[in-house]
Structure 1
Amino acid sequence: MRITRIPLRRKLFGALLCSVSVAACGPAPEMDPVDEKSPELGAEQQEVIYGADHRTDVYAYTASAALRQRAEKSTVALMRPSALNTSNPNNITFNASTLQSAYNLCSTQRFLSDPTPAFCSGTLIDDDLVLTAGHCISTSDCSNTRFVFNFYRTSASGLQTVTTQDVFSCQSIVARELGTVNGRNLDYAIARLDRPATPRFEPAPIRPGSAALPVNTGVSVIGSGSGIPFKIDDGGWVRDARSGTVDYFIANTDTFGGNSGSGVYENDNFTVAGILVRGETDYVNQGSCRVVNQCTDTGCRGEDITYVRPAVDHYCSVAGSQRLCGTTEPPPPPP
């Protein structure tokens, strides 16, 4: 799945990190190469591929100009300050192992030379607001989180140049939920950046309304699965809409730890419909190395994706935004 995979080998930054399973975990101060996704309430898991592997580098993606633009202008990777080498502010590099080294992957696997500095993903949804998973960030580790734009490949061997203008700090967490609330299993966070990201970058539009997505609706994911540069996966579809609770839906997206917090788009008009939070085990052993876990399109447990509407409604109840809430008026005082 693509739940935030946070390495269990290192100190977990506060919340319980759930490896690659259905457990909701919080990010660790330093990430280890052990996949982790948000726990559904506490299991371990890793990444997984359903059917064909649809992950595509941004430079090679040609199916939709809108999705490519979401990757280039609206997607962020969450990293620790220690993962960034800012000695040259006009060309930031990354302190991280390659994917092959970090996860002991076999030479037959894809993206082996990609660096792995990210521990979660997120989406710009307003001038200075990033949507991600609740297990990816909390108030206690806000100051130790960086939001990095432009983390994608421009060719098979080249990365888009990242400068200090593309790196943002966390000012505060304005809305967050992690756990069961009124019978709904929720996992989301909205973080306020230290400065507006626009007009350099562009907020992704939010899916209107609060209705459940119909089963078989096509969905796409953009993020840093296993911590690597952004990949676009447009081959998923909704397997279970959970229309009775509308807290999260289950899809067969090709996502991994590090994809936790990724924006999940419905494929009709590419609005953000959800946040990737949990999923199936990502990697499995094959002799002395590891390979991506392979499932059929209808097999395994699927990937859990929190609906976006609870996060937006929470934010609008405590803050206010013309873009997100349709008003510039301040919210009413709490009762």
Structure 2
Amino acid sequence: MNKIIVLALISSLMAGCGGAATTSDFFAKNETATAGVIYGDNSISEVKKSEPNNSVSLALIKKEDFLSLKNKQEGYRVSDFISEDLSWKDQPISAFCSGVLISENQFLTAGHCFAETKCEEFVAAFNYDLTGKDIHGVECKKIEIIKNSLDEEGLDYALVTLTEKVAIKPATLSEKMLSEKSAVYSLGYPLGAYKKKSEGQIVEISEGLYRSDLDLFTGNSGSPVFSAETHELVGIVSSGETDFEENSEGSGPARIKHCQIESCRGEFITPIQKILADIAKTN
């Protein structure tokens, strides 16, 4: 993966969790990354095969990067941009967004994931995880619906139809809204790395959106959020705290920022109830 491709990838990642950004927001003057956010204790962990909803989580990967993965070609890794000694620092950077299977041939993700990416340019990748085995990519047939007006309507999601049916039981959609302090977890691809789980709670419900303290990075946009009690799909990650900002030296690799939810914006989730009507229109 050459430098130009990586810059483009990071630029597309920056359109993920944390809102709109440019490559310069991610890179310092020497083109290394700048900083990231963890709320309180780091809750990010690898996902076990036996984990509920493990199979329904999918990664959105550009076709050229997916081909590199399949051919085991060496590319950029998390440690190339992040200085903190993360347990997953040696994992590849490949995914630009996350998603969740909701029927045998449809998935949900964040609407802003397609601000610059077309249907024919990516695959929905299943089993993109720590094992590095059995990764399976399915092409996009049609982006059915895109809503990307978070500031105006609280809606940021996309519904995508795949070219083939997937032999995976889809996520179960929740029929009711959560209350504040409800325990939740997300499954997604922070920084484009392998699938990760983040655990937290709903901190606030404001103007129909969930605000959470989930530890999410760019690349987590479109990640499914599940109730820790019922394991039903309760929403889609849309935006949150600006993940990358200028560090004190103005150059050098990222130092992950830690902050308490009381003093940070938090991570916002579009409730599944806001999406159900659009899902019904395509079925």
TM-score tier after normalising by the smaller chain length: 0.7 to 0.9
TM alignment of 1:1-335, pairs within 5 A? 9-10=7-8, 18=15, 21-23=18-20, 34=26, 47-59=36-48, 65=50, 68-71=51-54, 73-85=55-67, 93=72, 96-101=75-80, 103=81, 105-137=82-114, 141-154=118-131, 159-162=132-135, 166-179=136-149, 184-198=153-167, 201-209=168-176, 211=177, 213-234=178-199, 236-242=200-206, 245-246=207-208, 248-283=209-244, 285=247, 288-316=252-280, 318-320=281-283
SS at structure 1 position matched to 2:102 = strand
Q: Which amino acid aligns with 2:40?
A: G
- In angstroms, what is the RMSD of aligned CA positions? 3.2
**Are the equivalent residues in 2 in contact too, given 1:142–1:171 (CA < 8 A)?**
yes
Residues in 2 aligned to 1:53 and 1:140: alpha-carbon distance in whole angstroms: 31
Which string of whole-angstrom CA distances, capped at 9 and with x for unpartnered residues, describes residues 257-287 of structure 1? Answer: 0000000111111111111111113345375
**Are the equivalent residues in 2 in contact too, given 1:238–1:251 (CA < 8 A)?**
yes
Cα drift, residue 174 of structure 1: 1.7
Number of residue pairs matched by the alignment: 270
**Larger helix percent:** 2
Q: Is the alpha carbon distance of 1:170 and 1:52 closer, same or farther for their aligned partners in structure 2, counting shifts above 3 Å? A: same
**Are the equivalent residues in 2 in contact too, given 1:57–1:231 (CA < 8 A)?**
yes
Residues in 2 aligned to 1:221 and 1:117: alpha-carbon distance in whole angstroms: 19
Q: Which amino acid aligns with 1:176?
A: I
Residues in 2 aligned to 1:32 and 1:227: alpha-carbon distance in whole angstroms: 18
Q: Is the alpha carbon distance of 1:46 and 1:313 closer, same or farther for their aligned partners in structure 2, counting shifts above 3 Å? A: farther
- TM-score, normalised via structure 1 length: 0.72
Cα drift, residue 149 of structure 1: 0.3
**Are the equivalent residues in 1 in contact too, given 2:224–2:237 (CA < 8 A)?**
yes
**Are the equivalent residues in 2 in contact too, given 1:280–1:303 (CA < 8 A)?**
yes
Cα drift, residue 202 of structure 1: 2.1
Which string of whole-angstrom CA distances, capped at 9 and with x for unpartnered residues, describes residues 131-187 of structure 1? Answer: 100011269701111100001113xxxx2332xxx2100000122211159x52210
Q: Is the alpha carbon distance of 1:82 and 1:95 closer, same or farther for their aligned partners in structure 2, counting shifts above 3 Å? A: farther
Q: Which amino acid aligns with 1:151?
A: Y
Cα drift, residue 55 of structure 1: 0.8
Of structures 1 and 2, the one scoring higher in RCO (CA 8 A, sep 6+) is 2
**Are the equivalent residues in 2 in contact too, given 1:50–1:296 (CA < 8 A)?**
yes
**Are the equivalent residues in 2 in contact too, given 1:224–1:258 (CA < 8 A)?**
yes
Residues in 2 aligned to 1:214 and 1:82: alpha-carbon distance in whole angstroms: 42
Gaps of 5+ in 2: 28-33
**Larger strand percent:** 2
Cα drift, residue 107 of structure 1: 5.0
Q: Which amino acid aligns with 2:18?
A: S
Q: Is the alpha carbon distance of 1:171 and 1:298 closer, same or farther for their aligned partners in structure 2, counting shifts above 3 Å? A: same
Residues in 2 aligned to 1:69 and 1:20: alpha-carbon distance in whole angstroms: 23
